[in-house]
Structure formats: C-alpha cells, structure tokens
Amino acid sequence: MNRLFAFFAALTLTAITVSSSCLASSADNIRFTLHPSKRADLQLQLRSGSSGRDGSMGSSFAAHELAGLDVAAFRSPGSHPIRFALLREAGRVDCAGSGGNSNASGTCTLVADPGFAQFLVSRGVGRAAREEAYHLTMVGASRALVEAIRSARYPTPDIDELTALAAVDVTPAYISELSGSGYKPASLDDLVQFGALDITPAYIDAMSRSGYRNLDADAIVQMKAVGVTPDYVTQLARTGYPNLSADNIVQFRALDVSADFIAGFERLGYRGLSADTLVQLKALDVTPQYVTNLRRAGIALPSADQLVKLRAVGFSPNNRS
C-alpha cells in the first residue's frame, strides 16, 4: 500500500472515530431539542454534560418512534407540556419539557436495561458503565447484533466495538449478506469500515466485473471511500487507461483525474502519459489550460516531467523572471 493509499485509509478511520465521538459523552445532564426534519418526521438532538457541550448526537425519527409524544401538542401554537421516550434494547431515554409550533426542548434521563446489561456480560462483551450504556442505547445496539457477530465467527466484541458497529448501522442482515456472498470482512475493524461506507456485495460484484477481483478489505474500503464506481473505471478504460492498479485508481479518483482531464492533454500532444505522471500533474494543478498559457506566452511545450517541475517551483507564464 503506497503512502497516498494509506493516507485515505487514515482518513476513513478518522471519519469513523469522529462519528463515534459525536455520541454524547455523559449519561447525565441530558438536554433535548426537537424540531422538524427533512429526512423523517422529527430531528431529535441530545446534548449532555455539565455545559451541554461535552457530547451531542442528533438523529431523525418517525413520530411513532418517540413513544408517548403528543404530536398534535408539539405542532400546535403556544407552549404545551411535551413528554416522550426513546426505547431501545440497551435502555430508554425519557424526555420531558415544553414545546409548540413544531419545536420543543427539555431534559432527559437514561434508564439502562439491566437485562441487556446482563446479556452482554453473559456473552463475554463486558459490563457496560453508565456512560457506555447510554452510548449503546443511542446507537441501538441489540442482542441480535451480538448473536450475529458470534454466528459469523468474529471475535467477541468489547463494548466500544459493539457501539461502533451499531453506530454505523451494521445489522445482522448486513453481516449475513456479506458472509453469504463470500465477502465477509476479516475483522471487526474491517466490518466497521464496510458498514460506515455502506459497502455491499452488489458494489463488490460490480467492481469485480469491472476487472477488480479478489481485492482485500483495505482496497475495497479505499475505492468506496473516494467514490470509485464501475462507470468511472469504464470512462478511464475508454480513454486508454484500462487495468489500472488499485492504488492508481484510488489516486485518480481522489484527485479527480477524469477522462476529460486526460483528453485535454492528449489534444495538446501529450499522449500515453503514465498513471503516475497524470497523478503528479493533477496533484500540482497542472491543467491543459496551464499548458495552453505556456504556448500563448511563446514557451515551447516542455515534456510532462518538465511541466511538473515548472509547476512545482511556482512558474507562471504570466509572471516570468
């Protein structure tokens, strides 16, 4: 794996870590706001900690998912008492406050489920502290997920790993789909990355048909993370770049080396450029227009390598010294 490839792996893991850290960091002093959502009926925002800034999470919910919510009162003019509960296997979050005109705010209390806590102990996951129980509740961790992990013969997750898996919507059905299709990620970390990027057997099959077969988990993750698609692979092949390595295709897509970019250089006489040269040109923002400007300034067209060197030292045809 080259340095750029590893860089995108780090970016992916960072994004997952940041996503997990956005969960409320304390199970006490929880405050809520509730307002309409574009993705569902309602957007619930929870903030916790002494200042409300220690941690936060927000999710969209259908109204029926917030048990006990008087939707009519919530939407009516004026101020009305508002109560509801978010019910999950790991526990429940009971919220009370006031609202109206489709906005509400107030405070919430966590009630961890002792049965779920004991289940985690019995399966070797561990005993969740109160804060961990809050995280498990908010991400919707379930007994079924624990059993699916076990059935797929993964190592028993700890509390943090179970939280991360649930946070990126890894479900029993998803684990079964990957395993049944022969694309089972080798580790729980890989499974988290697959879930975070919504890597499906259909995506892997499509990339396989495009010539990228038997990829390891890292390669699949990087391709999906930067948006490599079968259509993109086809466009490059038509431009004269079939069968690029996994590293190169990731570099191309990450830097937006497009068929149009390549064709622009070909029209100027730069044909058959290597993949590495195209990456260098794009990374340094050497464009066909830059080359055209050199020509207009009366500068003989240099080789692609010379173009890279000129751009690297900041040479501009409009400001020669």
Beta strand extents in 158-237 (DSSP E only): none
CA 293, distance to chain mean position in Å, is 40
Specify whether the CB–CB gap between 135 and 155 falls below 8 A.
no
- pLDDT band of residue 50 (cuts 50, 70, 90) is low
Q: What is the mean pLDDT of the chain?
A: 89
| Residues 307, 301: Cα–Cα separation, whole Å | 9
Specify whether the CB–CB gap between 24 and 56 falls below 8 A.
yes
The residue ranges of every structural domain in the chain are: 27-112, 256-312
| Residues 215, 212: Cα–Cα separation, whole Å | 7
Among 197, 200, 158, 157, which Cα is nearest to 175's?
200
Q: How high is the pLDDT of residue 17?
A: 45
Paired tokens of 221: 């993750």
Specify whether the CB–CB gap between 87 and 24 falls below 8 A.
no
Average pLDDT of the residues in 206-235? 95
Q: How high is the pLDDT of residue 59?
A: 87
pLDDT in tens, 99-115: 999 999 999 999 999 99
Place of tokens 């307002």: 35
CA distances (Å), origin 68, targets 60, 98, 179, 287: 17, 14, 39, 60
pTM of the model: 0.83
Average pLDDT of the residues in 217-245? 95
pLDDT in tens, 261-290: 999 999 999 999 999 999 999 999 999 999
Angle of helix 217-226 relative to helix 246-255, nearest 10 degrees? 20
Among the listed ranges 98-107, 175-184, 192-201, which one has the minimum average pLDDT value?
Answer: 175-184
Specify whether the CB–CB gap between 280 and 255 falls below 8 A.
no
